[in-house]
Chains A and B, each alone.
Chain A
């Protein structure tokens, strides 16, 4: 099973790397052809195929890891990164199917690539390395649902981040080959209405688990506090958008900041002490 883990992991990394290269070629095609709708059609088809392939390989890496360790791949930074990347690519495909904006899904895959590279570093380039579960983590159902919801939530936010960056670049419609600003704005809002309930679920499941494991549904542990701060940012985004009527650049800027909070929360294990500081390696 170690061999399978390694094969799936490195193949995932390779496929995400190829998506990145393919995306550059695709953008070059689009930029060169300007308004030609058929520009880069072949590259586009290859990119979509590569995204499906990357998703399948990441799923394989997760499954192989699961079989090898006997638990969901959610107990270390390596495994979180794998799950996060899986969430980004999986949701990227869903957003591609719904909005047909390959640039958004493709660019999001670059974030997934960064995560997989980070995962490789975190284990000293040995993706089969794993550590045993401390007793508190031996709660298969809550561990799996808590972190799976986090992976999907963070995946949605990552896509929202990419879309917001594109919106900020494109808000005056100066780059013809990029999706129109209103579409980017709509996608980014949609990522929040997917990600925010999931993030809420992450916090609720975490509270439930903390109650079962430690008798306290909330401990102001640094990582749970960071998750709450992240939640505040997205709650503020929704309020400003739905109630005050913010749209466009201000909303996009807020989403960029909110995603920085996601990144801060994700990497929190490296600089927080507390209940979540259990494992930063494999």
Chain B
């Protein structure tokens, strides 16, 4: 049992130590800095080992060399914010904050109540107070002190003693809870993040082409129809605005409609739909040699690729059941030397090149016309647009916002409403008043300034030093 108790004490001592917390903060800063300076693997590649390996070969190794790429990768520095070291440090910090907060709670409750009158009187009697004599008679000085404290918003409690009167005054007594609020907010922030990660839903690339209705899929029973897509451009060709008119459809019924723009998402229940990206799409019909339609729909050309400095958009249609896998490539613009404006290029493979399909042939086809390949007829009928949305549901979000508010409140309390406690005894004296006073709390200039003003009020002089009565950590 002793072993468990001493281990527990060691744990509490370690995790409530400010130095320990500071080391963790410093290490987190260093690790985060590594995440800023080193290239990070894009999130969408993380789930696919092959894509991750391709990123290592195409991005990391040319940049950092094979040796350092291997070292950085081994340390998890190409995905720092999901790495074990970052998660361990983050967890240690949260545990430290929680332990520290729990440990501090009793003393905070005591501080909020204020010093009791008996202790305050003893404090003055012990001789740790600043003493002065003034010619101001005791009753006037009592009024002066009361006036000084009231004017500055102190809560005043008084005690009659055989020799005179003792004031115990405090201001902003809940301010020390500000630190507590800050620490609690960090715990809330972590909880919000964890709830969002565990219970949330996200889809970063939900693509719908104009006129198409696409089901969101599990766990939602809704579909999104892109009624219309519009984009405006500045003179230099950069996008000025792009927006999607959409309908949310459930069981064939429109349950919501609206326009989604960047900065103006649309909400459906707890799901938020964000305008994210856009690009060209085509409508395409494919028939076999018997005239049976084997495909008639939309193809989003959302996969860009660059050849000799020209970026084109492409999409795919898998017709391997009919002997071909097709890439559909759109023109980069009116001046594209490869794919003329108003046309698309079809590239035919035996299967997807990613799975080893071999190139068969390619041909350019005017939108609105028909071409034939291996008995299949391809009829692109219209060049339209697709819209890319981000879908998000984050049940931890309210915790995140609450944590932010709590953090700012905590900062405000700590920095701008400092806790002040003052004990003043005024005793009658044949020559006037004898005053003993004592300020509790940390030494700082504002407290010194306040005491100097106080000293002037009671007619005392001299350098004032507030006493630091806080417990050492």
Interface residues of A (CB under 8 A from B): 132, 134-136, 138-139, 186, 193, 196-197, 200-201, 204, 207-208, 211-217, 220, 222, 225-226, 228-229, 232-233, 235-236, 239-240, 242-244, 268, 272
Contacts and interface: CB of A to CB of B under 8 A. Distances in A.
B22 A213 contact: no
B468 to A, nearest CB: 10
Contacts of B412: 197
Contacts of B167: none
B133 interface: no
Interface stretch (B120-128, B239-247, B377-385, B451-459): B239-247
Contacts of B442: 242
Given A214-B390, A244-B19, A235 B404 contact: no
B35 A220 contact: yes
Nearest to B21: A239
Contact of B404 (A207, A214, A215): A207
Interface centre among A193, A220, A235, A272 (most CB of B within 10 A): A220
Given A225-B32, A225-B36, A213 B263 contact: yes
A139 B25 contact: no
B239 A135 contact: yes
30 contacts: A134-B238, A134-B239, A135-B241, A135-B261, A135-B262, A136-B262, A136-B263, A186-B445, A196-B411, A197-B411, A201-B408, A204-B408, A207-B400, A211-B397, A213-B274, A215-B265, A229-B29, A229-B33, A232-B25, A232-B29, A232-B32, A233-B29, A235-B25, A239-B21, A239-B25, A243-B473, A244-B18, A244-B19, A244-B22, A268-B36
A217 B32 contact: no
Nearest to B261: A135
A33 to B, nearest CB: 28
Contact of A243 (B18, B29, B240, B445): B18
Contacts of A239: 18, 21-22, 25
B214 interface: no
Contacts of A216: 392
A254 to B, nearest CB: 10
A233 B28 CA distance: 10
A211 B267 CA distance: 13
Contacts of A235: 25
Given A204-B404, A211-B397, A229 B36 contact: yes
B36 A213 contact: no
Nearest to A205: B404
Interface in B205-238: 234, 236, 238
A225 B274 CA distance: 23
Nearest to B26: A236
A132 B240 contact: yes
B407 A200 contact: yes
Given A200-B407, A214-B274, A135 B35 contact: no
B181 to A, nearest CB: 13
B415 interface: yes
Nearest to B234: A132
A50 to B, nearest CB: 29
Contacts of A138: 241, 262-263
A235 B276 CA distance: 34
Nearest to B232: A135
A225 to B, nearest CB: 5
B81 interface: yes
Contacts of A193: 415
Contacts of A222: 35-36
A91 to B, nearest CB: 16
Contacts of A229: 29, 32-33, 36
Contacts of A220: 35, 40, 81
A89 B473 CA distance: 39
B366 interface: no
A240 B234 contact: no
A138 B275 CA distance: 14
B238 A197 contact: no
Contacts of B262: 135-136, 138, 213
Contacts of B274: 213-215
Contacts of B33: 226, 229
Contacts of B400: 207, 217
Contacts of B111: none
Contacts of A139: 263
Contacts of A215: 202, 265, 272, 274, 390-392
Nearest to A203: B404
Given A134-B239, A207-B400, A225-B35, 6 more contacts: A132-B234, A132-B240, A138-B262, A207-B404, A232-B26, A232-B28
A136 B26 CA distance: 33
Contacts of A136: 262-263
A65 B411 CA distance: 34
Nearest to A217: B400
Contact of A200 (B35, B276, B408): B408
A38 B12 CA distance: 58
Contacts of B236: 132
A200 B18 contact: no
B36 A226 contact: yes
Interface string B384-419: 000000111000010010001001100110010000
A240 B442 CA distance: 14
Contacts of B407: 200, 204
Contact of A197 (B18, B202, B240, B408): B408
A132 B238 contact: yes
A233 B240 CA distance: 38
A227 B408 CA distance: 17
Interface in B22-53: 22, 25-26, 28-29, 32-33, 35-36, 40
Closest 4 CB pairs between A and B? A135-B262, A232-B29, A215-B392, A215-B274
B371 to A, nearest CB: 37
B72 to A, nearest CB: 16
A193 to B, nearest CB: 4
A87 to B, nearest CB: 19
